[in-house]
Structures are given as structure tokens and as C-alpha cells.
A and B are shown apart, each in its own frame.
Chain A
Amino acid sequence: MKELETAFGKSLAENFSSEIQSSGFEVVDDLYARRVYSKDLWPRNLILDREASLPNDANIDAVVRPVEVGQISKLLKLANEMNWVVIPYGAGSSVCGSASAPSRSSAPKRPTLVLDLKKMDRIEALDEVSMVAKVQAGILGQVLEENLNARGFTMGHFPSSIYCSSFGGYLATRAAGQLSTHYGKIEDMVLSVEGVLPTGEIFATPLAPRLAVGPDWNHVFVGSEGTLGVLTSAWVKVHRSPQDRKFLGFHVASTPDALDGVRKWLQAGLRPAAVRIYDEEESKLLHGYKSGVKLIVVVEGDFPYVDFTMRELDKMASQLSGWENLGADPAEEWWAKRYDISYRQQQILSHRRMILDTFEVSTTWSKLPQLHLAVKAAAKKVSEGGLLVLLAHFSHFYHSGGNIYFTLCGRNPDEEGTEVFYDQVWNALLEACQEQGAAISHHHGIGRLKVAAFVRSHGVLYEALRKFKNELDPRRILNPENLGL
């Protein structure tokens, strides 16, 4: 470990000297570590880094790495006493700035530390009979999955960021994996969470398959993005590793035709692991289709389940007009490259004036086609004078609706101020989405990026949430400004 460099780091280490000596607790405060941990993967950070020179200092004062929950409790109590800001940090893959420290110029200067949870990374228990596991927050998604696989289980949570995101991050952001149509999203998997309140008290919600004991605390903490508590572990459902996996691909005449067919599947009770529809523009630009749209399906589970689901999907699809069965290949290709897509980011973002981001929204079936058109129209309008391409695919489906995952890529019409262009584009798209009555995020969360739209969409409930936050965290030490809190 490196020597501590700042007065703040040294005083922090003094307070935790016994923890540092007796466990793996770490305090790090050198300039580069502080630079790295002041940010997550919010593209706006990258745009600013690209177009400006390196600032002299970082936005945080130290990084701490606890190894057990008692240390977090002690740290939060001390932070309340000393008026420090604490930002819980998993793997820093948030794309909305929810783990990015507020810039020092905009926020009052309070000592700020990042609480890196990655040293708490064990699977504490696996109850094979109940098929539940207790998992610590800091484990990386891929490592968790491989450890479960080695014991014959899967969690079924496969975000595209699985290599660079943590279990605690999934809980805190209400994340969704690629196979969520079958396995559910993180909130469907969680049975109980444990953590520390902003004032330092340790809590655990009851472990039960279902319960009716007042409001569900799991749902309060899941999605709280580091503002209401530090989550240290959770009990989640696991499944036996699938015996079989099968693939299907279709060429469909149009997006509405494809949506209509998928709705019929879902409402008939079928649950393929993944269904993805690429809209006309994305099918053309990224998949080389001359017309129509690409649709792929992955089904997994035990043999009888897969056979039954495949047969029914196929049977229903054959009765739909405009659907042509392309066999397994297109879906197999996606499967082989399912975590690769994000690599395009670096190509685009490394060019001056370019912006690139993803925007995932959701609504009910009857409103989905209109939402798709309205957001695309808004993009066209905002890009007048500049350039903006909005590609879209639909990747998570439910009995009552689905999501749209937009990829926006544009070029600032002006030489300077690309972050201003970025903000304008985001505001226009979020407004268009809200006009359609849709949810402004399906799985990436709010962070610092979507605060204005978040406040608008919550109406009086935002005020209620703020009061709740103030009760729980009277000194606003935990990730302030995130979610606008």
C-alpha cells in the first residue's frame, strides 16, 4: 500500500488504525486514486475529460475499503460527527453519474470520501434447498456468476456490464440483466437486504419468500442509488444452471408488427430468457438489413421447459403476418457477442465534439409504438443544425409492456461546449418521453443526469422523498445531490 499523502487521509487512518492493523481495511488518498474514484462511467465525465485539460485536484479526499459491516457503521457515525460526505462505490460502472462526486466548484467543500465496497466480496451462504444465496455487495457480477456456476447454480442476472459492475451496484440502481424476461430483474431476485443507515445503524430486512408486514423496505433500498443507506449484502434467489438453451431469429416487416407478436407471446404466458427487437434504423445500420426489423429470441431452462416454450413461440409466430423465421443463427450470433456492443463507445467518444449515450425508457404495450416515434421525432428536432442519430432496440418485455433502449450518437454543431449540447439533447429526449407518460429510466437509474426529469415525474412524492431522506440522513452525508436529494 502507498503512503498516505494528505492530512485528511492521515486523520482518517488514525481513527481506523486498529481496523487497518487487524483487518484488510484500507485508506487511500494519493492524487491518482482520488482522480479515478471521483468518477464513474457517465459519458458526460468522458466528454469533459476529453475537451478540457486535467484539473489540478480531484473532487474527493480519500477512498476507504472496509472489509466488514461494523467498519462501515463506525465510518458513517464518524462522518456524521465530522460532516463528511460519503459516496458508496461498487465498480463505478454507473452511466448516469450516480457514483460521481459532485464537482468541487458546484458543491460546498465538505471533505468527501468514497466508500469502495469491493473488498466485501464473498458468497456468505448458499441454501441449495430453498435456492437462495447470501451475497456481499462488492463482488463483481462475473465472479459471482462463475462461483455460483461452479456449484451448479446461476443468479440469472447478466447486465452487459457484468465484467465491470458489482452486486451492490445492481441493488442500488435497480439493475436489469439481459435475460430478465425469464429470470426477472434485481428487485424480483432480492428477498432481503442488509446494510447500514446513513447515521450508522446496521439493519436487515426479514428473509421470507413473500410477506405482508407494512411497506416493503427492500423496495425502499433497492434503487436508492446510495442515498438512503449502504447496502452490504442481500439474500437473492438462485436457479439451477439451465440444462438447455435454444435460439430463434426472425425477420419482421416493421417494429409495430414485431411488438405486436412479442406482446402476444408474453400475454400467453411464455417467458423466453431474452427477446430483442432492433428497430428499422438499427437493423439497417448495425445489422445490414435492407428493410424490416431483426428479432431474436433466447430460451433457456430445463429440457421440457425449453422444448415447450420453443414450440409455442414458433407456433404463434407462424400465424403472424410479416414474420419470417430465420432459424437459430441471428440469435446465436448475438449470444456470442452479447457483452461486446459497448466497445463502440470508445471509437465515437474519442472524437472531439462527439457525444454518445444510451437512454432506456419503458411504458405499457399500448403506448410503446408511439413512445418510439415521439422520442425519435424529438431527436430529429433537437439535432437541427447539428447531427444526431438515434438507434433503438427493445430488450425487456413484460405482461403489460416493455422497454426501449435508445443509443444516441451526435456531433455538437459548435466547436466548444459539447457538454452543453449533451445536456440539451438529454433534456429534449427526457421531456419527449415524459410527454408520452413513460418511465424515464428502465434500468440505468437517475444519478445526477436525470434529476430535473425525476423531480418532475415524482410531483408531490418528490417532496415526500426529500423529507424521508432528511429524516434518515439529517446531515446529508450519503451521496448528496444524487437523485436530486
Chain B
Amino acid sequence: MSWIPDVFSTLKTWVFKKKLLKFSSRFRRDTQACFYCPEMCRFACPVSETLRDNSVTPRGKMSILHWMERGETPDKITGSAENALWYLEQCTGCGRCTEYCLHEIDVAGALRKARKDFYSPTLLPTLPSIGRDKNILFCEPGRQNWWRSRANLLTRMNSPEVIEWTGPHKEWLQGKITSQALASWIDSFSDATNLWFESAEVAWFFLETCEELGRPVAKKVRLVWQEFFKDWASKELSATEVFHESYHLSRLLPRVGVSVPMYERGLLPQHSGWNVIDCGGEGFYREAHPEKANALRERFLNDLKSDGRTATTIISQSLCCVEHLAADKQGSVYWLDHLFPS
């Protein structure tokens, strides 16, 4: 009966080859995948790249979560729960790891969720009471008058009502509130035809929350600047100008159905044909770790310099980035007014 083990072994080898060498449809999308990965996304992470620190790479951070899933405590893994949180916070939320991961693991999302788990979910936001409307433009705080004096731009959006964004996105990014708390507030927009957002980061927050809660408003979300820029930005911006944009978010938005064709793939200035800088150090990260966010800014501006391109004019749509970049002396920082005089 010596052929039996033979056949069995051939069969085993066949199954082995078929199942284990051809993983076409069984890619893992969890913390375990990062744990065993040679981490080809590493250079994309602005934090690990700037700090030159192997322990804060996307894989470095995901490995903490993996050990926790295997039943180890934050204390044992990192020395204390505070230390574990410190590591999870070494992340701007920029999403480049998610973008660069071939397995489409949403590392940025997993880290954000993990941060939330570490915070208390009891803090509830003060939600703005906003009536229903057919067309709303959420502008950045303090920008209402700017918008109202630009009727020509508003006409192109079907004259929406302009409302300053006071939504709880920072609290949400900091993990201080759960998405559930936002459900009824989000429902109050269900009648809107279009929700225009000035900040891509805020739009991302909104979409992500809708998706998490299974709310159908995603299709109504539109990005003002993306919409305007795609017609003319490449013609208008000269080579000495730097357009700062939430590049990373523009890479994430297509995943929830918003297309952003104008953005080029760019990391450091020399990665793209555009003079794009994207330090990633904005939003939550800037608030939680200002020194490091500044280090990111310096690094990216220096890269730009070493590439022979001085940032003479920086145009940004994000209030946070304007503040952040204005501290650098090398160029003037504009908040889009430069492009759209009233």
C-alpha cells in the first residue's frame, strides 16, 4: 500500500501550492498582515520618516495592536498604557500608509480607531443646530464673509447657504467622541442636495462617519476647491508657487466615492510635477504634538529648498496649515485669497 502516502503527499503538496502560494483572494487586511510585512510603505509615513524612528513606522504602530489582539496588555508591550497611546499618537492621520499598502489595509483608520478606544467615549460634542437645506457650503471658521463677498463663486455651486464649520471633527480626530454620538446630527442633513466642504479633512471626517454609521449622505459631499481647481489650477499656478493641499485626503476620498482627478501623486516636493508640499502634520497631530508637527514642516520645506525650489508663495486651503506654515520665514502664506480676489 506504499502508494497511499505517496498520493497523500502529492495531494498535500498540491493543496499547499494552490492554497498557500496563490493568495489571490485571501489577502488579510488586519494588524496581523502588518506584523509579518517587510513594510514597503515605510518611506511614505511622514512621522517615521521625519523622526527616523523604526518604532513609529506604520508597522511599528500596528504591531502594538497586533500584540494586544493576541492578548498581551499595553503595559507588557510598551511599559504602560500611556506609552502605548504615545505610540499610537505618532500619526498625523494622513493616510499615506493606507494609500501605499498593496493589501489595502486601512492602517490610518485602524490607528484612529485604536486611539479612540484609548480615550473616554463619554465626552459628547456640542453639535451645531443646522436646519435642513437643499445646498450647504461648510466653510472654514471665520470665512463666512469671504465667501459671501464672492457671489460669482457661489453661483457655481447653486448659491448654497454658507455656514461656518463648527462640527466636532477635531474632537473626533482626537478620539474623544464616538461616531454613534453623531448619528442624529448627520441625519439632519439627509434632505440636502449637495454638501460643499472647504476643507478636505472635514469632508473626510464627515464621509468616514457617514460610512461608519451606514448613513447615505456620502454622495452629496463635494469639495469646493477640488471642483474649482480641476478646471484651471494647472494653468494658473506658476512654477514659483507652492500649492499646499491635503494630498493624502485626496487619495483617500475616492475610496468613499468622491473622485479627485486633479491631484497628482506626490510625497516630497520632488515626487510630483506639481509644487506640492504635504507635511501631513496637521489637524489632530498638530494639536497633540506641536513640536513634531513643526519638525515635519521644516523637513518638507527643507526638502523643497534642497530641490532648488524656494517656497515664495504658499497657498493653502487649510487654516491649520496656514498657521503651521506661516511660522516659516521663507515665503508668504496665503489662504486662497491670493487666487480668488473678491
Contact = CB atoms under 8 A, between A and B. Distances in A.
A33 B52 contact: no
Given A5-B79, A30-B83, A343-B102, A349 B54 contact: no
Q: Closest 10 A-B residue pairs measured CB to CB?
A: A118-B52, A346-B36, A150-B270, A31-B79, A32-B78, A36-B55, A349-B36, A347-B23, A346-B37, A33-B55
Contacts of B134: none
Interface residues of B, number: 51
A347 B79 contact: no
Given A31-B79, A32-B55, A387-B16, A149 B270 contact: yes
B21 interface: yes
A140 B87 CA distance: 22
Given A31-B79, A164-B43, A2 B20 contact: no
A146 B28 contact: no
Interface in B11-37: 12-13, 16-17, 20-23, 26-28, 32-37
B307 to A, nearest CB: 5
B40 A164 contact: yes
B35 A350 contact: yes
B64 interface: yes
B161 interface: no
A399 B120 CA distance: 66
Contacts of A31: 77-79, 83
Contacts of A344: 21, 23
Interface string A62-89: 0001000000000000000000000001
B60 interface: yes
Interface in A124-157: 138, 140, 142-143, 146-147, 149-150
Interface of B, secondary structure class, is: helix
Given A54-B67, A350-B28, A350-B33, A409 B21 contact: yes
Nearest to B13: A387
B20 A342 contact: no
B1 to A, nearest CB: 18
25 contacts: A2-B83, A31-B83, A32-B77, A33-B53, A54-B70, A65-B52, A65-B53, A91-B42, A91-B54, A92-B54, A147-B306, A150-B308, A164-B40, A285-B17, A286-B21, A345-B36, A346-B28, A346-B36, A349-B36, A350-B32, A350-B33, A351-B20, A354-B20, A387-B13, A411-B16
Nearest to B73: A54
B103 interface: yes
B255 to A, nearest CB: 20
A119 interface: yes
Given A116-B52, A118-B52, A30 B40 contact: no
Contact of B40 (A53, A150, A343): A343
Nearest to B64: A32
Given A164-B43, A339-B40, A411-B16, A285 B22 contact: yes
A406 interface: no
Contacts of B43: 140, 142-143, 163-164
B38 A342 contact: yes
B122 to A, nearest CB: 28
A30 B42 contact: no
A22 to B, nearest CB: 17
Q: Which of B13, B37, B44, B49 has the most CB of A within 10 A?
A: B37
B268 interface: yes
Contacts of A347: 20, 23, 26-28, 33
A163 B21 CA distance: 24
A37 interface: yes
